Amino acid sequence: MSLEVSEEKFVHEVEKDTSRDLADKDIKESPNVLGFGVFYGDGSSFFGQTLEDWQNAPKESVQLILLYYDEDDGLGNHTRCSISGWDYYAFDGEMFTASNDTRNLCSDYILYGRWMDTDKWKQVVQSALRYQYSFW
């Protein structure tokens, strides 16, 4: 079964996931993270599943992160969460945090967000759409 999602719906979900109601809180504490995808301002991406993978990810110009959890979304896919719009992103091997203040992060290994114009950001979102259900 193929499920198509428009860019507008995905962008809306990204904006909803990064609302300031989540400011300085853990993005997701459970279930366990199975993997992540990091999408950068230059159009590149990086995928991983472990803390070591996170530590090897490029640090600068993070635009969007997709997280994949060990929970079923009811359609046979992994539950997902998209995160964007923050200055700092951290992963401690189990939990992700995103914040605009480094004092609130769960780990010392930080990836750095960067502002970019809307048209370029939409290109990053379009790239991430290909991986919204699974990256492996």
DSSP per-residue codes, 2-25:
-----HHHHHHHHHHHT-GGGTTS
What is the predicted pLDDT for the residue at 133?
65
Residue with tokens 């960067």: 114
Contacts of 84 (CB under 8 A, 6+ apart): 14, 17, 18, 63, 64, 65, 113
Return the structure tokens found at 31.
Answer: 């279930």
CA distance 100 to 89: 9
* Cα 99-101-107 angle, rounded to 5 deg: 70
Please indicate, yes or no, whether the overall pTM of this predicted structure exceeds 0.85. Answer: no
Distances (CA, A) of 69 to 2, 73, 123: 20, 9, 25
Tens place of pLDDT per residue across the chain (136 aa): 333 444 444 444 444 444 334 334 444 344 577 889 999 999 999 999 888 999 999 999 999 999 888 887 888 877 888 889 999 998 888 778 888 988 878 777 889 999 999 999 899 988 888 877 665 5
What is the predicted pLDDT for the residue at 44?
94
